[in-house]
Structure 1
Amino acid sequence: MYKNYGLFIDGQWMASSDKTQAEVVSPVSDQTMGAVPVATVADTEAALASAARGLREWRSTSGFARADALHKIADEMTRRAEEAKRMISLETGKPVAQAEREWTLAIDQFRWFAEEARRIYGRIIESRVPGGRFEVFREPVGIVGAFTAWNFPAALVARKVAPALAAGCSVVLRPSSQTPGVAMVMVDCMRVLPKGAVNLVVGPTATTYAPIMADKAVRKVSLTGSTRVGQQMIRDAADTVKKVSMELGGNAPLIVYDDADLELALNVSVPTKFANAGQVCVTPDRFFIHDSLHDQFVDGFVKRARSLKLGDGLDPSTQMGPLINAARFTEIEAIVADALKAGATLVAGGGRAPDLNSGHFFEPTVLTDVTDYMKVFDQENFGPIAAITRFTEEEEAVSRANASDMGLSAYAFTRSPGRARRTVSALKAGMVGINSFALAASEAPFGGTNHSGMGREGGTEGISDYLDTKLAQVVF
């Protein structure tokens, strides 16, 4: 399935210089689906040299011409949507309907930033010097290193590559080795670009990440990954003073107040929690349910969770796929075991899904009687676990929700506009949903605070991190 792809350097697909390949394994069957080239240090350096050449041409291309190119990329992505959604489902295991939505979101990113490319504005400032004026320019920062995770292999690439290209930067993309094919399909849709404007390498830290971080010509790096990896990247970026933007881990709270629409909360929280088998940074992990609604909420949540159909993502009837690999499965097992040992009550799931003995299928799991200091509550579980606790007062719920180093997303359900506004103001998160989980859109800024990262992807803010500001004093 990867025979037409490989490393993408200087406008062409190629094998690695030493012909080394790595297998890509299906999370559904745990069988090898194919193999992709593994970049050597020399290959990554070749990609960086290509990006330097591509930058010279691409940064001098007008914003209008860049916009036209991004629209053409979006057109090609639309044409190849069937191929792409199948690749997403094969590599991640997620249901094909979710894969299709993800590819559509990726296309939206290119459409949005095509228009942003036309609107990179400077400004004029009156000078105190007679006959003078200040002119403010926005210029592409330079070569961008883009590092993406496996859980949204199309959307995460688009969120980085589209704004970088719109700004006039060239890109060296390193997607996850677990889902390389999705990024390859997307890059193959970018052949309209000048050679070197976009490059792709796949491989381990030593041969891909290290050369990119060491190259002083790379002026910005963008990561979607864990907080631990982000912290290391920030340290490494300091050596060459690169700009960084980080979309890191989350441990989102969900508050269901006593005046909430219970049916709405249940109907949207269950599919959101178990989308992509819970492997979503913005998914709710910590459920704070008002004491008056707790038992009803748990009953309704469990009923809906148990009704979800697990299976191969390519089956249109599947509602939840597998975890990405055996290591993730083992980690989720350990988190549940730790919670039960600490006194939590298991009310649904808790282990391998019945009748699915191959792959990495873990049941939708619901825990109650959870305390704030259990691992399942204190740390991001990144899996199909809903950890539920009670509260009685609004201030208590907000305070407990804020008792985390993470600050990516947070949610609340209430019928009160006043309470909604107070909650939005009080919650420490980069994004807050009230009666909704719909936060990811090309026109809106996406990102977190504290240990969940810095910078924003999407919206008018999304292009800013790929631009430098230049001031000129002009006197005649």
Structure 2
Amino acid sequence: MSIPVPSRQLFIDGEWREPLLKNRIPITNPATELIIGSIPAATSEDVDLAVEAARRALSRNKGNDWASASGAHRAKYLRAIALKIKERKSELAELESMDCGKPLDEAAWDIDDVSACFDYYADLAEGLDAKPKTHVSLPMETFKCHVVKEPIGVVGLITPWNYPLLMGTWKVAPALAAGCAAILKPSELASITCLELAAVCKEVGLPPGILNVLTGFGPEAGAPLASHPNVDKVAFTGSSATGSKIMASASKLVKPVTLELGGKSPIVVFEDVDLDKAAEWTIFGCFWTNGQICSATSRLIVHESIAAEFLDRIVKWTKKIKISDPMEEGCRLGPVVSAGQYEKVLKFIETAKSEGATILCGGTRPEHLKKGYFLEPTIITDVSTSMQIWREEVFGPVLCVKTFRNEDEAIELANDTQYGLGAAVISKDLERCNRITKALNAGIVWVNCSQPCFCQAPWGGNKRSGFGRELGEWGLENYMTLKQVTEYISDEPWGWYQPPLSKY
């Protein structure tokens, strides 16, 4: 029997508050199609309250507020949050699995990453104390100059449903470490664990207003947050279409944004690979997280001399994947997140067939699963570069395949996309891998693997995959601004407006 879903309200100014319009959104378990609870539905009125709370949090006890406190002070809270997350790992993993359909083992892995991310940014917060200013060398001895980093202020954080708590943490942890106050708006399709993060923050005594969590629909809650005049920065992870709207909204106020958007990432497999190792990385790169990952290497570009044998290996590996309720032991592929997403993925597959592509395997509901938004992992061949399945992000367990003859053709196929988030190359020839890595137009490149992610390294993309970087020290800098301080240190007057001395 699954654990019950906690009934939460909005989290504003350190307190649970009912939405002003008192609306709630049902939560559907994508594995069973059953309603398992509900979340509050925030609107623009609730956004106003949360932004006001965040503003107050940065001005409370001025001189000793969150923004001006030492990094070590903020780090204590981040470490306390990390510890509580560890203590609740099993519960949080189960809630996340029920909420978005992620296999339980994957969800547990994500929760480990969440706690590690808070610990990591606690370290970086402490590091801010070690170097409070950077001195700048000037050409005039009558001046001295230094640069300080300061928190950017109140930040709006809008996150997706494929990694509910982890994506929230990627933004919340560095924002808090930097000294910002945050309003987190998770996806309405998977918000449970983000509300539990609020509960953890309340339990460890995080000052009121430093983190506010608003659940609700994008147009009613996300859009007002992104366009709010008292929000100093917006960070968004999600679709390119929504990212474009957020960027347009922010531009009216000349507000900085960080956008981590969609992808259609390639994986290039050369003829010298170990076929089984390469096959496993290929399907992991596409089918991990039920295929619902922005960086999924969902375009396989394989050398023509091994294509037939390699596809045979991939099909064999794919058929080993256990598809089941994500709570079952050993599950490696759960359902997609919602009925709407399920229909969207099926439509992509049908369009590919109508355009002349071949469904090598999968493409339908598994026979043993009559309920839930389950789809067999799908491999599609006979694909042209003009087909929708090759060019557009599916966000489901669908891999499409093309062959290449030489290195130049492989690079051309890999880069022929409007996106530029991730890319992978698999070959035993490391010099070749280095050449391909330099040639690929992507923010993240994997060599002889696909999808590993570490909070110490930058994450983000090029082209329509967005701009800015999360994670690592770059993630902390996202939430900081630079201030130049220049001082005149001479005892002599400046003298610009003094009259010249008389010759007589």
TM range (shorter): over 0.9
Paired AA for residue 264 in structure 1: K
Unaligned runs of 5+ in 2: 60-64, 490-504
CA contact (8 A) 1:430 1:449 kept: yes
Structure 1 residue 268: Cα displacement? 2.2
- Name which of 97, 103, 114 aligns with 2:122: 114
In the alignment, structure 1 residue 12 sits paired with structure 2 residue 25: no
Structure 1 residue 345: Cα displacement? 1.5
Paired AA for residue 187 in structure 1: A
Q: 1:374 corresponds to which residue?
A: 387
Structure 1 residue 199: Cα displacement? 0.1
Structure 1 residue 4: Cα displacement? 4.5
Deviations 1:369-398 (Å, cap 9, x if unpaired)? 211111111111111111111111110011
Q: 2:265 corresponds to which residue?
A: 252
Q: Distance in 2 between matches of 1:472 and 1:395?
A: 50
Which of 300-309 and 395-404 deviates more? 300-309
Q: 1:125 corresponds to which residue?
A: 136
Matched position secondary structure for 1:50: helix
Structure 1 residue 2: Cα displacement? 4.5
Which of 185-194 and 397-406 deviates more? 185-194
Matched position secondary structure for 2:336: coil
> What does 1:203-242 align with in structure 2 at a 5 Å threshold?
203-242=216-255
Q: 2:163 corresponds to which residue?
A: 152
CA contact (8 A) 2:296 2:451 kept: no
Q: 1:332 corresponds to which residue?
A: 345
Structure 1 residue 215: Cα displacement? 2.4
Q: 2:176 corresponds to which residue?
A: 165
Q: Distance in 2 between matches of 1:333 and 1:127?
A: 62
Unaligned runs of 5+ in 1: none
- Name which of 32, 41, 44 aligns with 1:41: 44
Q: 1:61 corresponds to which residue?
A: 69
CA contact (8 A) 1:138 1:468 kept: yes
In the alignment, structure 1 residue 22 sits paired with structure 2 residue 30: no
Q: 1:298 corresponds to which residue?
A: 311
Deviations 1:222-254 (Å, cap 9, x if unpaired)? 001000000110000011111100110010101
Q: 1:279 corresponds to which residue?
A: 292
Structure 1 residue 185: Cα displacement? 1.2
Q: Distance in 2 between matches of 1:172 and 1:401?
A: 37
> What does 1:177-196 align with in structure 2 at a 5 Å threshold?
177-191=188-202, 192-196=205-209
Q: Distance in 2 between matches of 1:393 and 1:3?
A: 55
Q: 1:341 corresponds to which residue?
A: 354
Paired AA for residue 278 in structure 1: G
Structure 1 residue 127: Cα displacement? 3.1
Q: Percent identity?
A: 32
Deviations 1:187-219 (Å, cap 9, x if unpaired)? 222123110000011122343223323322211
Paired AA for residue 111 in structure 1: D
Q: Distance in 1 between matches of 2:316 and 2:449?
A: 21
Paired AA for residue 346 in structure 1: I
CA contact (8 A) 1:92 1:179 kept: yes
Matched position secondary structure for 2:345: helix
Paired AA for residue 148 in structure 1: T
* RMSD of aligned alpha carbons: 1.3
> What does 1:390-469 align with in structure 2 at a 5 Å threshold?
390-469=403-482
Figure out how many residues of one structure are paired with residues of the other and give that number. Answer: 476
Which of 355-364 and 185-194 deviates more? 185-194
CA contact (8 A) 1:275 1:320 kept: yes
Paired AA for residue 209 in structure 1: G
Q: Distance in 2 between matches of 1:203 and 1:439?
A: 31
In the alignment, structure 1 residue 143 sits paired with structure 2 residue 154: yes
Paired AA for residue 275 in structure 1: W
Q: Distance in 1 between matches of 2:21 and 2:357?
A: 52
CA contact (8 A) 1:73 1:110 kept: yes
Q: Distance in 2 between matches of 1:363 and 1:342?
A: 21
Which of structures 1 and 2 has the bigger CA Rg? 2
Structure 1 residue 182: Cα displacement? 1.1
Q: 2:324 corresponds to which residue?
A: 311
Structure 1 residue 432: Cα displacement? 0.3
Paired AA for residue 79 in structure 2: H
Structure 1 residue 42: Cα displacement? 2.0
Structure 1 residue 126: Cα displacement? 2.7
Q: 1:386 corresponds to which residue?
A: 399
Structure 1 residue 158: Cα displacement? 0.5
Q: Distance in 1 between matches of 2:163 and 2:45?
A: 28
Q: Distance in 2 between matches of 1:112 and 1:365?
A: 37
- Name which of 99, 120, 134 aligns with 1:91: 99
Structure 1 residue 74: Cα displacement? 0.4
CA contact (8 A) 1:142 1:170 kept: yes
Matched position secondary structure for 2:327: coil
Q: Distance in 1 between matches of 2:149 and 2:11?
A: 29
Normalised TM-score (structure 1)? 0.97
Q: Distance in 2 between matches of 1:416 and 1:133?
A: 52
Normalised TM-score (structure 2)? 0.92
Structure 1 residue 406: Cα displacement? 0.2
